[in-house]
Structure 1
Amino acid sequence: MSSSSDKRTIALLSWYNLTSSFAGNLVAPFLSIFFYQLAGNKFFQTSIASQSSVIVSVVMGLFWARLSDVKGHRKRYIQLGILTGILSSIALSFVDNIETAILVQVLGAFTGSASGAAFSALMAEKLRDQRGARLGIYNAAGVIGGFTGSIVSGLLYNTLGFRWLLRLNALLSIIPLSLISLIDEEQNNSNKASLKGFLSLPRIPRRFWKLYLARIILTLPGAFSGGIFAIYFVKFLAGPPEAWSVLIAVTTLFGLASIPYGRLADRLSTRKMFTMAGLGWTLLYLGYYLSPNYLWFSVFFVIPVWPAFWLAYSKALMDLSDESERATFYAFEGTLSTIFGSLVGIFAGYLADQFAPRTLFLLSALAAVAGTVAANLLLEK
């Protein structure tokens, strides 16, 4: 790409992330509470609703990714996924029971899963140089959009209600749909693969497996506790919904740390970045466990640890994708991560019903310690 084309692409991707993050964060702060209420205040059923689309996403995600690699197109699959998300948000805004919510989630996964791996592949193809720094800029745009969306979400939650936030999300998602259409795409003139080739796994670099093992251990804390944050804050710590949306907004804004973290990811090893994240998560989850009220909980919640891990991991995956069929490689990684996260999330919902949900924070802190040790043992210095 020329310098001007390069800048235009970075700008379009950044605006895409900003607008999609704004629309997404209109509903993200309160989605788990919406499911929790539909499920009759049961964590296990809430986790089922949140993870209900997993099987379909796993199967169809690989299908769409392979199709993207074979056909050489990325944008059309991203557009299909966004359109499905728009329709799913509208449908979800009319459900009145947890069973229908699960059905909407499952049906939406058939074509909604088309976008994930294709977008990751498009990003990797467009960001070939200075990936850490450029990912930092891209993520910073998402931070700004997410911050603004969370603030607006809190203001509108008690006035319009969550169902209208879902409809507003659908309307605003037209903007990122339009932006992705403006990105120039280099056509890959791949020939159609045979059925055997179409169904085969991508080439997986050997270095991937140690990286991925460190990743799944290190992200156990989020898999355990991620689904209960909003519910715990509002229902168990008696935090006002407006305070939760502000907390999400501030936490998102602190995600601007992705800019310096991105530069660090270009200079430091993945091992060092993972170690930094693991130690940070250990302190955070201990803080959640010990917090006596929602104010103390908020103090720990805003500390930006996730960008340190995610930027390092994203950069490492981009580098590995250079050695494989991009979209299928990302879908394969996404499949493993989705299955892992869903199984842990459902199990965590069961534990939260059997014991105090606060117990999950202690388990998460222990998992963060294990992840830090694993990263140091598995990854190269």
Structure 2
Amino acid sequence: MIWPTPVIYLNSYYLPPVFNVLFGQVLGWFAGIMAGLSQLLLTSNRAFAVYFPGHFSKHYKHNPTNIAICVVVAIATLIGVGGNKDGCHFLFRLELLSWAPEDFPCARTLSNIFVYVVLFVSFISNMLNIATLMKLITDSARLSLSRVEHNRRSSRRRVMFIQNVFQEFLMLIDNLNRTLVFRLFDAYWFQFCCSCISMVLTRFLEGLVMVFVNDRMRVPAKRLLRIQRAKSANITTMQKLSTLFRFGSRLTETAARFQKPSMMNFAQAARYSSGYIFDVDTAEDFSEKVINSDVPVIADFHAEWCGPCQALGPRLEEKINGRNGQVLLAKINVDNAGEIAMDYGITAVPTIFAFKNGEKIGGFSGVLDDEQLDEFLDQVTA
């Protein structure tokens, strides 16, 4: 709407060709391809986290996500640049009140490519969604979960799956409206509905889905609307669901099956004997032991079913004990302290936050090597 709105307001049929072509390539071919491929990246990222949790949490010199984004931008740029050729433009046509490709073979070819890309992306994304769901269900069956916890995780997975499918469906419908459906009827109002209104409405619905499903977006939205969240010492059932299953994308087989509870309790007691490491289960404990602490505190948000947590936890505890009280470690099990995890927007485990004088001063997600952990602790205690 950045370009069409002022043009319609001026009510002039003369459009500077250079600007029309520029906005058409940036807002048309480039943005359209970016939207579809970005959705594919999100779906692929979730699938990779579930199937390869160790590699997903590993620290890389060059972030694979950034590399994938660069590839997507390059593809979208290539198609956008191709649209600058005469006869290949995607333009805003004032007489139709809609964006449309030029009536030339090159523009029609690019338009068809655009449709095929959308169909391909939607198909692959939904296949990955199904594969991710099946993997989560399979892993869940292997774990020793109570009936209540199993039902909770199943419920959350269904919500995530419905969210993904709904977003893919919206994107597909919008692109079909703007490329095929609008040609079915020549009336201006029909073409306007299939182009501008369809795009705005689908983006609104997609954002609405994210707000309702994602806690990190829902809380700021409530604040924006000046809706005060009710304070409660006990987390509600829906909050527990939201917190518990948020970590399903990092689900992996636990190390608990290889250790007996008695051995785990003995090891835990040995680690905690120094007094530098302690558990936090409630918001009151967190405020007293972390926020009001006189020395820096590392908050370790973890889960018993999380493989990377089992790899990071003992090494972090060893290094904290080696600091001889310069820094403390608060162990926070997200399955037992869901309210704290929600307050700090925890979306993955392990997540490490550093607090000093009641303020969060840093943190990271995933697993770091020993050198990186030492560097992080040096910064906290500096």
TM bracket (short chain): under 0.3
- Going by fraction, where is helix more abundant, 1 or 2? 1
Give TM-score scaled by structure 2 length: 0.25
User: Comparing both chains, which one has the higher relative contact order based on Cα–Cα distances under 8 Å and sequence gaps of 6 or more?
Assistant: 1
**Which is greater in Rg?**
2
- Going by fraction, where is strand more abundant, 1 or 2? 2
Give TM-score scaled by structure 1 length: 0.25
